């Protein structure tokens, strides 16, 4: 009787393990890539100085201007050609530039809208 119980428990555990693994992967997986195609033209304005500039996001080739980018449904991130990194939140339109330095680094903040 005990052997039958252990066999059933083992079979149940073997059937449940892949399902649990799938749930864990869904919970802890990185953001899904964006399904859009084409280009995004964004006008970004520095929230402090008011200076503005345009960026072009190539969704088909995962590039921002000419830099390689990581594009998901929620975020677009790319390196600055000289130094630092840009992080664009697609849900809020907020763009953040971060630069590390020996003195602690700094952040610049922009607000972007479609052009």
Q: Which of 63, 23, 57 lies closest to 40, judged by CA?
A: 57
Give me the residue label for tokens 């929620």. Answer: 74
Between 21 and 46, the more confident residue is: 46
Give the architecture-level CATH label for domain 39-114: Beta Barrel (2.40)
Domain ranges of the chain: 1-30, 39-114
d(C-alpha 112, C-alpha 115), whole Å: 9
d(C-alpha 84, C-alpha 79), whole Å: 6
pTM given for the model: 0.67
Between 26 and 65, the more confident residue is: 65
d(C-alpha 31, C-alpha 74), whole Å: 8
Per-residue pLDDT tens over the stretch 52-108? 999 999 999 999 998 999 999 999 999 988 889 999 999 999 999 999 888 989 999
Q: Tell me the percentage of the chain whose pLDDT exceeds 70.
A: 69
d(C-alpha 19, C-alpha 25), whole Å: 10
pLDDT at 18 over 70: no
């Amino acid at each position: 009787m005990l052997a039958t119980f252990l066999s059933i428990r083992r079979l149940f555990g073997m059937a449940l393990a892949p399902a649990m693994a799938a749930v864990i992967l869904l919970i802890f997986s990185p953001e899904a890539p964006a399904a859009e195609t084409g280009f995004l033209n964004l006008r970004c304005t520095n929230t402090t100085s008011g200076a503005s500039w345009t960026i072009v996001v190539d969704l088909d080739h995962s590039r921002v201007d000419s830099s390689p980018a990581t594009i998901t449904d929620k975020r677009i991130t790319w390196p600055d050609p000289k130094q630092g990194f840009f992080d664009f939140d697609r849900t809020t339109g907020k763009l953040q530039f971060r630069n590390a330095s020996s003195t602690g680094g700094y952040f610049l903040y922009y607000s972007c809208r479609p052009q």
